Amino acid sequence: MALLTDIEQDHIHQDELKTDHLAQLPPEVCERICQMLPSLSLYCLPTISNKLCLSAKREMNIRHSKMKEKVMISESADNQLLHKKVSMICPGLVLYYSPNTCTPPPHKTTRTTLRMLKTIFTTTSSKTGQALCVPHFSDTNPLNTSNTIPPPKCYQLLQLPLCNPANSVLLFFIPVDPPHLQKIRSMSGWNICLPHQGGLSSILPPKCSRICLPLDHEKGLLTLAKDILGKEPELNLMTQPLMDPLKMYKDPNTLVVVVTDSNSDPGIQLVLDTFFAKVFLPLKVSWVKMVFTDMKKEEVRML
């Protein structure tokens, strides 16, 4: 027992020496260390050194500012290089595609990381890794703000009267900065992704708005339009048999990502089909469906 006590004391002494050594590091060295670390590691530094914690906080603020008011698109045939690029930022949502089986880089919260099974952009080879990184989400409606490029917004659509989250559909409204508009236009109109253990509710960002839709299709469409557009749309838009692009509400700077799974209510999806066909015309609408991991490769290719 005495030997064990000596070993424990030696470990404690070594930890104290490490702590003292880290405390003596010059500020510029601490800053450089933090610049070289992935975002997930920066959150772990407070348990190692209070001094490194301050540098880590400054570095995270810098990374957040880089993601402010813009999306980030990365493409590389080198999976390690793509992995490094994504791990060195702090996004609110990541759409990640890799032609190989490698997993996306971890972040402090991985619930809004969607691993895509098909190429994200139609103009990019399926042999090239791709990542679309989005800033953190806000409560502000991006369609009703005076900001030049507002933060993205998430909606969880539910069906009355139960409003069961297990049958929900998620909407991600993502403002796009001018340099990326052309690339986003080439985004695939549909895709599939690997599921999260808790279903759609498990990928909700911390800030998300809920919209409960009536069972009646027209009433559901009116409720959806009022909540998203911030005003009641013209009734003739919803009742006309064919779409009229000249009269539709437009936002040529917003990408909309619709995420569903096998449990998503078909009535909600039908309301969304009508909404995007007759009422609202964004820059791009991309439908993403979560699929089970036990699907065969041949079945995935056929989707």
pLDDT tens digits, 5-46: 555 555 544 554 444 566 677 878 888 888 888 887 777 766
Q: The tokens of 139 are what?
A: 């409560």
Where among 31, 48, 67 does a domain terminate? 67
Question: Tokens at residue 193, please?
Answer: 């992704």
Domain containing residue 59: 2-67
Residue 299 has pLDDT above 80, yes or no: no
Residue 59 and residue 152 in one domain? no
Tell me how many domains the chain contains. Answer: 2
Q: Tell me, what's the pLDDT at 46?
A: 61
What number is the average pLDDT over the span 51-66? 81
Q: 69 CB contacts (<8 Å, ≥6 apart)?
A: 135, 147, 148, 149, 151, 175, 177
Residue among 284, 121, 114, 282 at smallest CA distance from 187: 121
**286 and 192 in one domain?**
yes
| Confidence at residue 297, expressed as pLDDT on a 0 to 100 scale | 47
Dump pLDDT digits (tens) for 194-250: 988 888 988 999 889 999 999 999 999 999 999 999 888 877 777 776 677 788 899
Q: Is residue 196 part of a domain?
A: yes
pLDDT > 60? residue 85 = yes
In a domain, 189, yes or no: yes
The residues, any chain, with a CB within 8 Å of residue 244's CB and separated by 6 or more, are 237, 278
pLDDT number for residue 298:
46
Strand 129-134 versus strand 72-76 pairing type: antiparallel
Mean pLDDT of 255-261: 97
Mean of pLDDT over the chain: 83
Q: Whole-model pTM above 0.75? A: yes
Q: Which two tokens stand for residue 51?
A: 């001094």
Name 225's Cβ contacts closer than 8 Å, sequence gap at least 6.
232, 233, 238, 275, 279, 280
Residues 179 and 296 in one domain: yes
Indicate the burial class of 299 (C-beta count within 10 angstroms; 0-12, 13-18, 19 or more).
exposed
Is 95 contained in some domain? Answer: no
CA separation for the pair 240, 212 (Å, rounded): 24
Return the half-sphere exposure (C-beta side, CA atoms, 13 A cut-off) of residue 242. Answer: 2
pLDDT tens by residue, 116-163: 999 999 999 999 999 999 998 887 776 655 556 788 999 999 999 999
